Amino acid sequence: RTPHSVTITNTGNQPTGALTVALSGTNASSFALSTTSVATIAVSGTGNFTVVPNTGLAVGTYTATVTVSGSNSISATFNVSFTVNKANGIAVGTPTMASVTHNSITINAVPSPANGQAVEYAINTTATAPTSVETWHAASLQFDELTPSTTYYVFARSMENTNYNTGTASVSAPITTQAAPVEPTYGITLNQSGTHTFTAATFGYSARTPHSVTITNTGNQPTGALTVALSGTNAGSFALSTTSVATIAVSGTGNFTVVPNTGLTAGTYTATVTVSGSNSISATFNVSFTVEPDPTSISETENPLTLNIYPNPIVDGKLTIEIPVNIESEIIQIFDFSGKLMLTRVVNRPKTEIDLSHLPEGTYIVRIGTASTKIVKHN
pLDDT digits (tens, 9 = 90+) for 32-52: 999 999 999 999 999 999 999
Rounded distance between C-alpha atoms, residue 247 and residue 236, angstroms: 26
Nearest to 221 by CA among 178, 298, 278: 278
Among residues 216, 284, 296, the alpha carbon closest in space to that of 251 is found at 216
With DSSP H G I counted as helix, E B as strand and the rest as coil, what are the percentages for the chain, rounded to 5?
0, 45, 50
Give the single-character DSSP code of 45: -
Following DSSP, what letter does each residue of 162-230 receive, concatenated?
A: SSB---PPEEPPPEEPPPPPPPP---EEES--SEEEPPPEETT--PPPPEEEEEEE-SSS---SEEEEE
Which residues, including other chains, have CB under 8 Å from residue 145's CB and lie 6 or more apart?
Answer: 103, 104
Q: Long-range contacts for 299-303 (Cβ within 8 Å, ≥24 apart)?
A: 299/365, 299/372, 300/365, 300/372, 300/373, 300/374, 301/370, 301/371, 301/372, 303/371
CA distance 59 to 66: 22
pLDDT at 328 (0 to 100): 65
- More confident: 277 or 309: 277
Q: Using pLDDT thresholds of 50, 70 and 90, give the confidence band for residue 307.
A: low
Alpha-carbon gap, residue 270 to 35, rounded angstroms: 121
| 30 phi, psi to nearest 5 deg | -85, 0
Weakest mean pLDDT among 48-52, 105-109, 134-138, 246-250: 134-138
| Between 237 and 337, residue with greater pLDDT | 237
Binned at pLDDT 50, 70 and 90, residue 203 comes out as: confident
pLDDT at 306: 59
Higher pLDDT, 32 or 332: 32
What one-character DSSP code corresponds to residue 242?
-
- Residue-wise pLDDT tens digits, 338-350: 778 888 888 777 7
Residues 6+ apart with CB under 8 A from 12: 43, 72, 74
For residue 245, name the pLDDT band (cuts at 50, 70, 90): very high
Asked if residue 314 has pLDDT above 50, the reply is yes
158: burial class by Cβ within 10 Å (0-12, 13-18, 19+)?
A: buried
For 131-190, what is each residue's pLDDT tens digit? Answer: 888 889 888 899 999 999 999 999 999 999 989 999 999 999 999 999 998 899 999 999
In one-letter notation, the amino acid at residue 301 is T
For 88-116, the three-class secondary structure string (H helix, E strand, C coil) is CCCCCCCCCEEEECCCCEEECCCCCCCCC
pLDDT, position 302: 42
- Comparing 70-84, 131-145, 236-250, 326-340, the range with the smallest average pLDDT is 326-340
At residue 294, the pLDDT reads 63
| Cα–Cα dist 20/31, whole Å | 16
Buried b (16+ CB within 10 A) or exposed e, 333-350: bbbbbbbeeebebebeee
User: Which of the residue ranges 46-50, 111-115, 304-308 would you say has the lowest mean pLDDT?
Assistant: 304-308
Residue pair 156/169 in contact by the 8 Å Cβ criterion: yes
Write out the DSSP string of 328-354: ---EEEEEETTS-EEEEEE--SSEEEE
Mean pLDDT of 237-266: 95
Average pLDDT, the chain: 91
Q: What is the pLDDT of residue 123?
A: 95
DSSP 125-147: SSSSPP--GGG-BSS-SEE-SPP
The pLDDT > 90 percentage for the chain reads 70
Q: Which of 1-10, 122-131, 155-164, 314-323 has the lowest mean pLDDT?
A: 314-323
